[in-house]
Amino acid sequence: MELELLNIEKSFGDKKVLTGVSFKAEGGKAFGLLGRNGAGKTTTIRILMNVFPSDGGQVLIDGKPIDYNKIKIGYLPEERGLYPKKIILDQLVYFAQLKGMSRADAIKAIDYWLNRLDMTEHRTKRLDTLSKGNQQKIQLITALAHDPDIVILDEPFSGLDPVNAMLLKDVVKEQIAIGKIVLFSSHQMSYIEEFCDSIAIINKGVIVLHGDLRDIKRDYPRDRLVVRTQAPDAIRKDFGSVCSSTEDGGLMIRLSSPSEKQQIMMRITENYDIDEIKVFEPSLNDIFVEYAGDAPKEA
């Protein structure tokens, strides 16, 4: 199954929020939708979920307009959306029935997920008696109990300790493995890098970068060197303005051309005591900072 958003447009009054947003996400793979606050991620997700219509464009499944009566969507929002004073089982069943499940099927599915997420002991408790992390797990059950075709996870690891984060990672990997379309929206780039095959970065309502994450990294200009040394001052003086310090104590040297790489590496290793020298390969965080700045770039 393939999900495609094609030329989605949306305005609220005179404010243009989305301008021709397009991307594809495949079943059995995770897709990351990234952007700063206010960039248009939430509006895009709400149009995908049919919360409100777009002003133009289409949401397609396998090339045809999505049929919301047939395609099930599970959504884990960043903000909690459950009832703090209500019994957990009761409200989980209620939400599952809203999504078309019978009460018997809902209880069976919910008990499976409560057990899967180590939450069975909380089945008949009120939500507000749980920690923030456990509330997040209950919220996740509302997204998964009805066995959705598309799973949308907005900041899914928020509030989770390392043990519960690992548990959620396993659940997400299971959903991907059985062919679901899993769409991530998160500012935690390490999780996006771990799970997502493809990404799209949205900036001021425009997709400014999209594609396979490995290809994006591979195509990134190889015009910077990372150097680690016990004598950084001498190298900094030698290279002047093209040399800068990195956050982790290394040096970054920007080349005038990638073709200089071998020559400059040889010059450095022959003249200085070097612990490490390599071509800079950007992290997703580096790419995000570059493309999600104030001025949208050409995709």
Band the pLDDT of 261: cuts 50, 70, 90.
confident
Residues 37 and 206: their CA atoms lie apart, in Å, by 14
pLDDT in tens, 190-210: 888 888 989 999 999 999 999
pLDDT in tens, 141-186: 999 999 999 999 998 887 788 888 899 899 999 999 999 999 998 8
Residues 296 and 299: their CA atoms lie apart, in Å, by 9
Share of the chain above pLDDT 90, in %: 53
Which pLDDT belongs to residue 297? 47
Residues 192 and 28: their CA atoms lie apart, in Å, by 15
Segment 275-299 mean pLDDT: 75
Angle at which helix 132-144 crosses helix 103-116, to 10 degrees, equals 140
Which pLDDT belongs to residue 294? 55
Residue 241 has pLDDT above 80, yes or no: yes
User: How confident is the prediction for the chain on average, in pLDDT?
Assistant: 89
Residue 299 has pLDDT above 70, yes or no: no
Evaluate if pTM is beyond 0.85. Answer: no
pLDDT in tens, 107-116: 999 999 999 9
